[in-house]
Structure 1
Amino acid sequence: MAVNKGSAALETLNNTDDVKESASFTKFKSGTTLKVLVKGTQDLASFYSYGIFGKVYSFTPAKPSERNAKGFIIEGTETPWDLAAKYHQDRANQARAAGDTTTEEEEKEAARLYRGKERYMMGFYDLTAEKDIVIDVSKAQAQAIHATIREYEEEIEAGEIAFKLSKTGQSTSTAVALTPIINVKKGLTAEEQAAFEAEKGKPFNDALFDSILYEADHAEQVENLVKAGFDVSKIGLSVAANDPNDEAVELGEGDDVPF
């Protein structure tokens, strides 16, 4: 499974070192405000997302790489996309050693394209839609949301409080906020109040986390690299013969791959 749920997700979230059913992320674009019930303090899951906008849709590896406590990939467990990122990062390091800053920046940007991005799924109960929902946020956004959840943990456990979940801004200035609705009788419609009373105390359906991500196996990841314009022969792979058991890839020295 490509996600860490509950306490495992909280462990990575708080690390400041830099029902089988069909499910999908709830649309949560800038300008959106949702009225929600927080059912628990651990309704979240972490994962690493890969893909290139406009070329390859986002996916998670069916067999993700293994990472240490600081998030560095353990050598020998890399996915094809991790290897592509490492290829360009190594070239950036070589360019830096040679004093070629232009090539260094180009290669670092190329490495960034193939690198996995840490993301978080967070679960809430949508009081207007009257169903459990999952939103997709960055680690920084998840930390901001969870800081509010921790602040109001007692009220959440007592079923005394609802929240407004909102997103504002654009691009790198995008921000999310979880704002308490202290007086639910004033802050919620009659229908939303009824949903609040009916759902408080019930657990979140965290099975949604298991069915929401698209997982790509090894072969599809290699095909996606080709689609993205990467020459997979540079990392010892080919589309025709990409069984990971047959790979002969030189990974270089070092215990971890820091990307």
Structure 2
Amino acid sequence: MSLFTKKGAEAVTSAQATKEEKVSAHVKFNAGTTLKVRFLSTTDSVEYFAHGLYSPTVPTFAPKVTPERNARGYVTSNPSVWDRAADLLYADAKAESDAKKAEELRRQAGNLKSKPRYLVGFVNLENGEQGFVDLTKKQADGIFAALAKYAKKLDKVAFELSKTGASTNTVVSLTPILDMDEDLTDKERENFVKVAGQPFDFEKFEGFVTMLDEAEQTKNLVIAGFDIARLGLSIGAASNASSTQSDESTPIEDGDEPEMTF
């Protein structure tokens, strides 16, 4: 098979063709941000499990080989490198007789353990486009509770979606805009009306989450300060670790760490 995919006039045409670039619908949502949005329903969201650290910084990622989980969220097979490392630290904590040392080991394990995150979709009234934000479980819980409260008024009420605080102490809030004539611009009101009846396009979530293979996860585990030799790993070497995981590791509730993506 030839290396060359096009030749002659076809090659020239291909080089001059305008390439269609996919624009992410993800809306940056740093602390201090307030978005004016319309929710098309109370359920325009997806859940995924991911790893990541605030300090040292390891941006949020999910493993390329997705672990299998039971209904309670426990990994039952194909655990990620980070989940296997967390299991070792949980075992260390269980064997540790010193209460303070055991607590520190559990904290370290919780930092490495995969946690649920949620992509929540809406219409950004600034431009009338569908978009989404990436939230921790605690942040998403608050948003979903507010949406449930106003479920019957979504066709009449816009919201301010805000993030306040700093570092790991961020808070996400959802506040209804009760006086839309006063608090929305003409363009924002126009966009609110324009999207009435639209379903949210779940395809917009695709491609957002950074997926890492085992080698890339291992490099990040070194950054996190874990001794990868305990897993039989080294940079550039394949793993000989087991691909199963027990239910002994309790899922750790997430904090309010800011989202971190590549």
Fold equivalence (TM over 0.5): yes
Q: Contact 2:46 / 2:120 at 8 angstroms: preserved in 1?
A: yes
Alpha-carbon offset, residue 117 of structure 1: 2.4
Percent of pairs with identical residues: 35
1:97-136 superposed matches below 5 A: 99-136=97-134
Match for residue 215 of structure 2?
219
Alpha-carbon offset, residue 90 of structure 1: 0.6
Q: Give the alignment partner of residue 229 of structure 1, picking from 225, 230, 237.
A: 225
* DSSP 3-state at the match of 1:106: helix
Q: Contact 1:235 / 1:249 at 8 angstroms: preserved in 2?
A: no
Match for residue 11 of structure 1?
none
RMSD in angstroms over aligned alpha carbons? 2.5
User: In 2, distance between residues paired with 1:125 and 1:166?
Assistant: 15
Alpha-carbon offset, residue 228 of structure 1: 3.0
Does 2:249 correspond to 1:257?
yes
* DSSP 3-state at the match of 1:140: helix
Alpha-carbon offset, residue 256 of structure 1: 4.8
Letter in 1 for 2:65: K
Alpha-carbon distance change, 112 to 257 in structure 1, aligned in 2, over 3 angstroms: closer
User: In 1, distance between residues paired with 2:224 and 2:58?
Assistant: 7
Match for residue 198 of structure 1?
194
Match for residue 41 of structure 1?
42
User: In 2, distance between residues paired with 1:108 and 1:172?
Assistant: 19
Letter in 1 for 2:140: A
User: In 2, distance between residues paired with 1:172 and 1:50?
Assistant: 15
User: In 1, distance between residues paired with 2:167 and 2:143?
Assistant: 18
Letter in 2 for 1:219: A
More helix by share: 1
**After the TM superposition, which parts of structure 1 deviate over 6 Å for at least 4 consecutive aligned residues?**
none
Alpha-carbon distance change, 93 to 205 in structure 1, aligned in 2, over 3 angstroms: same
1:5-20 superposed matches below 5 A: none
Structure 2 unaligned regions, length at least 5:
1-20, 252-262
User: In 1, distance between residues paired with 2:116 and 2:86?
Assistant: 15
User: In 1, distance between residues paired with 2:120 and 2:62?
Assistant: 17
